[in-house]
Amino acid sequence: MDHAWRSGMKFIVIEDNPDLNELLVEDLQSEGYDATGFLSVETYEAAGMVGAVYLLDLNLPGESGMSFAARLRARSPEAGIIVLTVRSGTEVRTQGYDTGVDIYLQKPCDRREILAAIKSMMRRISAPVPPPRGLTIYPARLLLAGPSGEVSITSSEATLFEALATAPEYILPYEQVMAILGARNTPSLATLEVRITRLRKKIANVLEDERAIASVRNVGYRLLVPVAIGGAVALVNPDEMR
């Protein structure tokens, strides 16, 4: 696995034992991963970071690791979640897997087992499988994937796709598109069309030449193809778009 590719994937360690937290972060960094540690869910969320893979303790001060794993899975279906905990038993593991945990490791855990679990997780999240004729958004990685490959997008572009996919009749008015793309300071339709044209060019790289966003005269823009998040949740029914 290429070192530069590893460093492009953000790892979040949430463990309330400072010594273990530091050790886990150092181990990940020594393997070439971009890792940051936090002592609680609250301190992590205050930092405003988005990770690709999360290493969580279950018994955390404030919000528990199990509760956070459930919220994380709901908002980021593509994220990798690995739990490290002293708690054992089938019931705890079952609850964790039902919550959305990918891998459950019991403390004390050998460093080699942790790294092996991480490598397995990386293989899963680095192989996006887009819908047959649609697009897949990977918000944590800021990627847009389609049948022809994948391309980097901005956070505002990812937000725009999600908004279009959940809008009535998949149409967003000009004002809302401007707000999402941060174009309110230059609110001309010509400027907005330039931004949309740039996004269409990115789409063309992964969806051949099929147009995914169409202009609706005097109204706004409409989404014309299915969109999914993380390859897991289809946001648009293709049959409704005919």
Task: Give pLDDT tens digits for 135-177.
Answer: 888 877 788 888 888 899 988 888 888 888 777 778 888 888 8
Residue 187: predicted pLDDT: 59
Residue 5: predicted pLDDT: 40
Question: Residue range 168-192: average pLDDT?
Answer: 77
36 three-state secondary structure: strand
3.30.830.10, 3.30.70.20, 1.20.1630.10, 1.10.10.10: which CATH number matches 135-241? 1.10.10.10
Q: Which residues contact 177 (CB under 8 A, 6 or more apart)?
A: 160, 183, 192, 196, 220, 221
Write out the CATH class of domain 3-125. Answer: alpha beta
CA gap 193, 174 in Å, rounded: 10
Specify the domain boundaries for CATH 1.10.10.10 within the chain: 135-241
Q: Which of 7-21, 75-89, 179-193 has the highest mean pLDDT?
A: 7-21
238 three-state secondary structure: helix
How many other β-carbons are positioned within 10 Å of the β-carbon of residue 206?
Answer: 20
Strands of the sheet with 143-146, listed across from one edge: 149-152, 143-146, 135-138, 227-229, 233-234
For the entire predicted model, the pTM comes to: 0.52
Specify the domain boundaries for CATH 3.40.50.2300 within the chain: 3-125
Residue 63: predicted pLDDT: 93
Task: Give pLDDT tens digits for 18-72.
Answer: 999 999 999 889 888 899 999 999 999 998 888 888 999 988 999 998 899 888 8
**Of the candidates 110, 20, 115, 28, the residue with the CA atom closest to the CA atom of residue 59:** 20
**Residue 55 β-bridge partners:** 13, 82
